[in-house]
Structure 1
Amino acid sequence: MSGELVKEIPGNFGPQGSLFGITAEPAYPPSTAVLLCPPLGQELIRSHRLYRQLAHMLVRRGLVVMRFDYYGSGDSCGDTDQTTLTRCVEDTLTAAGELRQRTRCRRLIAFGARLGASIALQAHDRQPFDALMVCDPILDGPAHRAQLEALHAGMLADTRRFVRPRTAAEGAGQWLGFPHGEQLGEELAAMHLSVPPAALLLDSANAFPRAGNIVALDEPLGWDDLDRLEVAIQSHELISRVQQHMETLQ
């Protein structure tokens, strides 16, 4: 990415200022805003740099971009085990309203990866964005919950990470080192989503049939790779694909 400085404005918003976000602004008043909806847990940490690079690319194209944290995650208020999908969707709608009010932009576009994509899809169902981009979205909640539990069990047994294998009791109430509440597990168990035909779907795992709105990424991002749990998600190809898609929308 270019070394050019990007103006970023951090701040709190939402109920009692409980949410934290960073708004990046271009040099000239923009007509389009982009809301970046993050994943949760381990994937939030791993994708932090990717989201920052994506935000800076979009700002250099003349768009205003907001990155934010849901209640109970990142730098927002609340504990990790208080995070729920219901609250995340509400927080996304709150962030969208805040971004619209701050910028007075004519159009608002959303991007989300993994559970961030799932949350963006549910927010879109309630208050549609002008365009939607999702990467490796979680559509089958029960399957994702089972995968999280399997990865967590594998991590606990991994003696490369621990001097001795951890017991299930020692890792209870967590997924990959992040506490979760009972409600989040129940919400995942009941979650079944679909991606609207007009949305751009970036697929790094060859998990979706090829269609007009689906773009395959050549390199897997390794979300579910136990050997890469501590490795940051990086993808210049993803950023390039988003940039190409934005050219079709502007």
Structure 2
Amino acid sequence: MNPFFFGTRQRRLFGVYSPARASASGSGTKAVLLCPPWGQEYLRAHRAMKQLATLLNQAGVHVLRFDYFGTGDSAGEMLDASLAGWQADIETAIDELKDTTDAARVGLLGLRLGGTLAAGVAARRRKDVDSVVLWDPVVSGEGYLKELLADAPARKAEHGGGYEVMGFALGDAMVAELRGLALPAAELPARTLVVRSVPGEAVGSVPVEQVEGQPAWLEDHHSGAGAVPVKVLQRMAQWWS
């Protein structure tokens, strides 16, 4: 496991690269970029994403995990972040993963909002992205925003405005972006899988697999963190093996 920074001086991103531990079956190098969710969902799902990377490595897949600008250990402030910028971060991470592994094309796996962002990037980077897994993706930005703001107090103007979502600042500009966000189901690669641990909206004609397991992005009241849904993780890792 190799933690490092990449990107530009103005937009320095934190990533963790973990190499494949076995020879991948078939021809070519297999590499997958993990696109995380946002806010408390990111914190809750951290253990599950790390375990998923381990399972993918064991299946012969190189993996890069990373933090968007303004989140985690990457540079920047949340109020300076944007959905368009985060999609650009995914593109930067794709290039970094390709350079690191010499893979001709990579796969994207996104959880919740990360899935929606990954889908948008995959639609315009067809030459670089050959497969996508959407894990409990956000299909409608408007619906997702209603969830976020259900109990979120408004922030005062001197604190940047917008809302406070369980300790995370959500600025007015990001709110506006989320209102117009939609998952581009019709533009996804032919090899796309949607995995759901909870019922959700359809994603166009893309096959959906309902896999039993606690949602990794919701708080488990026994541990205070997100669950590690082994069956869900195993299914996604097997899909790429």
Q: What interval of TM-score do these two structures reach, taking the shorter chain for normalisation?
A: 0.7 to 0.9
Based on CA coordinates, which of the two structures has the bigger radius of gyration? 1
Q: Give the aligned residue type for 1:241.
A: R
Q: Give the aligned residue type for 1:138.
A: V
Distance 1:78 1:228, change over 3 A: farther
1:152 to partner: Cα distance: 3.2
Between the aligned partners of 1:183 and 1:24, the Cα distance in structure 2 is 35
Ranges in structure 2 where 5+ consecutive residues have no aligned partner? none
**Is residue 145 of structure 2 the alignment partner of residue 145 of structure 1?**
yes
Distance 1:144 1:224, change over 3 A: farther
Describe the superposition over 1:175-230 as per-residue Cα deviations: whole angstroms up to 9, x where unpaired: 12111222211110111224336410001222145977210022341746796894
Aligned to 1:58: 56
Aligned to 1:244: 238
Aligned to 1:12: 5
Q: Secondary structure at the match of 1:206?
A: coil
Between the aligned partners of 1:140 and 1:14, the Cα distance in structure 2 is 29
Aligned to 2:176: 186
Ranges in structure 1 where 5+ consecutive residues have no aligned partner? 1-7, 154-166
Identity across the alignment (%): 29
Describe the superposition over 1:97-127 as per-residue Cα deviations: whole angstroms up to 9, x where unpaired: 0110111013311101000101101111121
Distance 1:18 1:198, change over 3 A: same
Aligned to 1:205: 198
Distance 1:209 1:112, change over 3 A: closer
Describe the superposition over 1:12-55 as per-residue Cα deviations: whole angstroms up to 9, x where unpaired: 11111610101001346761111000111111101111110000
Distance 1:78 1:182, change over 3 A: same
Q: Secondary structure at the match of 1:130?
A: strand
Aligned to 1:216: 210
Aligned to 2:95: 97
1:83–1:180: 8 Å Cα contact kept in structure 2? no
Between the aligned partners of 2:106 and 2:97, the Cα distance in structure 1 is 8
Distance 1:228 1:41, change over 3 A: farther
Q: Secondary structure at the match of 2:70?
A: coil
Number of aligned positions between the proteins: 227
Segment of structure 1 superposing worse, 226-235 or 74-83: 226-235
Q: Secondary structure at the match of 1:123?
A: helix
Q: Secondary structure at the match of 1:47?
A: helix
Q: Give the aligned residue type for 1:11.
A: F
Between the aligned partners of 2:55 and 2:210, the Cα distance in structure 1 is 21
Between the aligned partners of 1:224 and 1:99, the Cα distance in structure 2 is 29
1:136–1:201: 8 Å Cα contact kept in structure 2? yes
Segment of structure 1 superposing worse, 12-21 or 69-78: 12-21
Distance 1:145 1:60, change over 3 A: same
Between the aligned partners of 2:16 and 2:223, the Cα distance in structure 1 is 26
TM-score with structure 2 setting the length: 0.84
Between the aligned partners of 1:99 and 1:209, the Cα distance in structure 2 is 30
Q: Secondary structure at the match of 1:65?
A: strand
Describe the superposition over 1:48-93 as per-residue Cα deviations: whole angstroms up to 9, x where unpaired: 1111000011111121100000000010001122221111000000
Q: Secondary structure at the match of 2:152?
A: helix
Q: Give the aligned residue type for 1:43.
A: E
1:168 to partner: Cα distance: 7.8
Q: Give the aligned residue type for 2:48.
A: L
Cα RMSD after superposing both structures:
2.7
Q: Give the aligned residue type for 2:230.
A: H
Q: Give the aligned residue type for 1:18.
A: R
2:213–2:230: 8 Å Cα contact kept in structure 1? no
Aligned to 1:163: none
Between the aligned partners of 1:222 and 1:21, the Cα distance in structure 2 is 20
Q: Secondary structure at the match of 2:150?
A: helix
TM-score with structure 1 setting the length: 0.81
